[in-house]
Amino acid sequence: MSFPDLPAGLAEALTARGYTALTPVQTAVCEPEAQGRDLVVSAQTGSGKTVAFGLAFAEQLLGEDGRIRPARAPLALVIAPTRELALQVARELDWLYRQAGARIATCVGGMNPQTERRALAAGASIVVGTPGRLRDHLERGALDLSALAAVVLDEADEMLDMGFREELEEILDATPDNRRVLMFSATMPRPIEALARRYQRDALRISTGGSERGHGDIAYQAVTVSPSEIENAVVNLLRFHEAETAILFCATRDNVRHLHATLQERGFGVVALSGEHSQQERNQALQALRDRRARVCVATDVAARGIDLPSLSLVIHVEIPRDAETLQHRSGRTGRAGKKGVAVIIVPFPRRKRIESMLHHAKINAEWIPAPDREAILAQDKARLLEKLMQPVDINETDRELAQRLLAERSPEDIAAMLVQAHRAAMPEPEELLAQSFEAQRAAQKERHREGFEDTVWFKMDIGRRQNADPRWILPLICRRGHVTRSEIGAIRIGHQETFFQIPRAIAGKFADAVEATAGSEENGGYIAIAASSEPPRMAARENAKRGKANGPAPQRPFKAKPRPPGKPYAKPHPKGKGRG
């Protein structure tokens, strides 16, 4: 297909690349009203932004003959937040401007700076780099910005989030006054607005993301689990979706390390990305994902920025993002360039209200679902396995001879079963979710006797009035520890040193398992011992009373008044029920 409104070289490059039409953001930057103006472009990640700003500054770079204008220094500068994104941008601009004779230089961390300086001295028409390395070349005099006609800030919001404000301001201050400034950003927080006001003039705002801030190609799901079941839920989600590539977000590098080891132990092909990994380790991890030697990446927010994996179709927020902007940045790793993706937020029971508020603020409609259980995963495995085994394949003579030998020794049913078993053995086993098994028990309990607690089990806690035990905080604590609701807790009786409470016998076993699983968790009150009680507290009190009568009343010690210090009256007696015990 031809693109008559574009320079011939760029149109031919797009056609050779397989383009049949421009994406919405590419079309918007080529409109007459956008020509020659500063731009603030808000579009989802993966919507073709690199080609968009390549087309946007073509007017400043190309002469009438469609070739790059001769200049003593670079004509265009593209600043990206990470090394991976900068190298990706350079590759895109290379095929787009190859016929126009553009020379593209990259300046990124982790590469040889002397090689970069030689490329700049040789005469680069377009420079692509990260803020820190570009500032270093600028301060050393290797980067000349005097002829710059256009500067692009790609993923500007991420660069500010990563703390590159000072570097960006120093670079922009060194550019000519008549250059164009093009800001491309998935979101437009206040710092971006401030940067635009300072360095742009009469900027045209372009938004191609629609009225909703959430990505239209991403299906959001929220999965509620107990805090102790998060890792098992992650395993089951990975097994249920069996995504070609998935990324799991954690808040800290320690949590990345722990989850990475856990998934490795369970048999997943997994890599990790965090601040503790060197550039070489980072490159090896990304290459493993591209080569399909690994299918899962566990990463922190900062380490995952700038990653572009075309096969990435599943994002799991293992730990809750700090705000709506982070939620969008994380989720934006999938659902790129028209492809569909799934973003799953794992929500511990106590954090549901916070996530609901975050989703409302981000204008994202998420489907609230339970974590997939073993039965659902096995059903998915069955469907996937049948589809895979029924696909046509090329069979050579050696394979046919082996198949005939197998048929001679085993029945077709046995061979098919062995084949299914071999495929299934390569998949990690699903996890049994404690919270999931609770749901059926709760439903059955409600149907049988919602009115009272005729058949119950008594449990006791090692706290009482002496430790300021009060139903207002004991009741939520029991719910968190045992993964039950308030309606599933019967009578609560607080003693001096112990507290007793009732749990319906139908869920008592699951309650005890949950209590054991949450033991030691500070957040859930795991420092308080909870155990089944052999007898109700009334019976225990009755037995104590009997023992007291049999042994007779306790002997009374005589009262001896201490002498009163001179000049001090006797203390007033304590009001009844106050100040004692």
Instruction: Say which CATH topology domain 218-372 has.
Output: Rossmann fold (3.40.50)
Q: What is the pLDDT of residues 389-432, one digit of tens each?
A: 777 777 788 888 888 888 888 888 888 888 777 777 677 888 87
The Cα–Cα gap between 480 and 446 comes to: 20
Question: What is the pLDDT at residue 578?
Answer: 43
Q: With bands split at pLDDT 50, 70 and 90, how would you rate the model's confidence at 46?
A: low
Which residues does residue 79 pair with via DSSP β-bridges, in sequence order? 129, 153
Q: Which long-range contacts (CB under 8 A, 24 or more apart) does 277-280 make?
A: 277/303, 279/83, 279/109, 279/110
Of 63-77, 198-212, 560-574, the poorest mean pLDDT is in: 560-574
Q: Is the pLDDT of residue 438 over 50?
A: no
Residue 187 φ/ψ region, left for φ over 0, alpha for ψ in the -120 to 50 degree band, beta for the rest: beta
- Distance between CA atoms of residues 362 and 214, nearest Å: 7
387, pLDDT greater than 90: no
- The reported pLDDT for the residue numbered 282 is 82
pTM for the model stands at: 0.56
CATH of domain 8-207: 3.40.50.300
Distance CA 276, CA 287 (A): 18
**Cβ–Cβ under 8 Å, residues 288 and 294:** yes
Output the pLDDT for position 395. Answer: 79
193-244 pLDDT tens trace: 888 899 999 899 988 754 444 455 789 999 988 888 899 999 999 999 999 8
Domain 434-541 is found in CATH 3.10.129.10 = no
Mean per-residue pLDDT of the chain: 81
What DSSP designation does 32 have? G
- Cα(535)–Cα(547) distance, integer angstroms: 16
Cα atoms in the Cβ-side hemisphere of radius 13 Å centred on 323 = 4
pLDDT at 297 over 50: yes
User: What type of residue sits at position 40?
Assistant: V
Is the per-residue pLDDT at 447 higher than 50?
no
Task: Supply the DSSP symbol for 536.
Answer: -
Task: Give me the DSSP letters along 427-477.
Answer: SPPPPPPHHHHHHHHHHHHHHH-SS--SSEEEEEES--GGGT--HHHHHHH
Structure tokens that stand for 563 in this block? 């002498």
CA distance 285 to 287: 5
Looking at the chain, the domain(s) classified CATH 3.40.50.300 span: 8-207, 218-372
As a whole number of angstroms, the distance between CA 124 and CA 74 comes to 6
DSSP code per residue over 260-307: HHHHHHTT--EEEESTTS-HHHHHHHHHHHHTTS--EEEE-HHHHTT-
Which of the listed ranges 133-137, 161-165, 207-211, 545-549 does the model predict with the highest average pLDDT?
Answer: 133-137
Residues of the chain with CATH 3.30.70.330: 434-541
Q: What band does 570 get if pLDDT is binned at 50, 70 and 90?
A: very low
What dihedral angle (degrees, nearest 10) is formed by the CA atoms of 182, 187, 188, 189? Answer: -130
